[in-house]
Amino acid sequence: EKEGYPFFMIKEIYEQPRALRSTIHGLVNDVIIDEAVKLLADADKVFITGAGTSYHASEYFALTTMKLSGKPVIPFIASEYEVYAEVAGSSDILIAVSQSGETMDTMKAVRAFKAKGCRIISLTNIVDSAIARESDIALYTRAGPEIGVAATKTFLTQTLFLSWISILLASETGRLNSNEVAKLLEELRNAPRYVEESVSMSSETVKKLAEKLVPVKSMYYLSRDIGLPVAREGALKIKEIAYIHAEAYPAGESKHGPIALVEPSFPVVFTVPSDRKLEKLLLGNIEEMKARGGFVISVAPQGFNLNERADIVIEVPRTHWILTSLTHTPPLQLLAYYVATMKGLDPDKPRNLAKTVTVE
């Protein structure tokens, strides 16, 4: 039921705080999490995989874990599993991330890693899904059913869940002390409120911006570090729902080729995490785009200086950087949604796509 919303996608975007609350409730009460963290801490190599949005959540986990715990994590796109399975062994772990728990590419990766003797931890949104059944430890986001084809609330619940694990892992590896762990977990518990704030702070600006993007054919989404998977997610949403060609890549790569496309009014969205060092680096990249006449849109925490350099500023709450996916993704989802509906498209039924992809 759409509960008065015109489309499932917008209902599910607005439902995100509720989905996060129930995921947090599950996390706090699930003893199996500790078992998963121990397995990860003891593992030789940790791999994480998924397709589409679930891959973006996987990349997010790899970054948070490396930043917090110092443990290397290898993220890969599920359909590319063969090369990675080749180097996996029996003291390694694969984390398989899938909303549906049915995606064939992800399932194939799970089976290939199992054949090498790896243990499998899955994170799905559907209890007893095929991938959950094939894994040694089955973890669940509790986003509730997601009807819209585009993943929205499941991405936020996946990244919250995985960030929680990163923090516990950093405690296990001794990189964070118990005070730091408690502080970070508390920040994650505040996620539902930050998401509400993000939506209420950004939605009017996003609607106005969407009108400008209706005629656009192509755009870039740039970021660095923890902001990069979020930029990738923004680009995927606008491609699949609003049919605008969008490319996401690390901002530092601009000068190695992509900047050739930037001409006056070419839109470039910058995802700026709550991190002063990244702000400074991204400011340099924003200047490069401005110098070529690019139309710069920044999604950045309140009070960041680079907002003055952008043509359009989408402000989001200022938090610890670990919450970047939670604060910065909602405006990017809304942007794709509004451009799509302004073009008269049905965001719940994008062409050529199915909710669950059970073919290779």
Instruction: Output the six-digit token pair for 83.
Output: 């090369």
Q: Which is nearer to ligand F6R, 106 or 205 (CB)?
A: 106
Q: How far is the CB of 149 from ligand F6R (least distance, A)?
A: 6
Q: How far is the CB of 57 from ligand F6R (least distance, A)?
A: 8
Q: Quick check: helix, strand or coil at residue 193? A: helix
Q: In 158-186, which positions are buried (b, 16+ CB within 10 angstroms) versus exposed (e)?
A: bbbbbbbbbbbbbbbbeebeeeebeebbe
256: exposed, middle or buried (C-beta count within 10 Å: 0-12, 13-18, 19+)? exposed
Q: What angle do CA 33, 194, 20 make, to 5 degrees?
A: 35
CB-based closest residue to ligand F6R: 52
Q: How far is the CB of 266 from ligand F6R (least distance, A)?
A: 24
Q: Which is nearer to ligand F6R, 12 or 187 (CB)?
A: 12
Secondary structure element (H or E) that encloses residue 75, with its range = strand 73-77
Q: Which is nearer to ligand F6R, 94 or 151 (CB)?
A: 151
Q: How far is the CB of 219 from ligand F6R (least distance, A)?
A: 17
Q: Give the binding site for ligand F6R (CB under 6 A).
A: 51-54, 98-100, 103, 106, 150-151, 236, 240, 356-357
Q: Which of 219, 268, 217 is nearest to 246 (CA)?
A: 219
Q: How far is the CB of 334 from ligand F6R (least distance, A)?
A: 14
Contact 77, 181 (CB under 8 A): no
Q: Which is nearer to ligand F6R, 51 or 334 (CB)?
A: 51
Catalytic machinery residues: 355
Contact 146, 154 (CB under 8 A): yes
Q: Which is nearer to ligand F6R, 151 or 278 (CB)?
A: 151
Gap between the terminal Cα atoms of the chain:
31
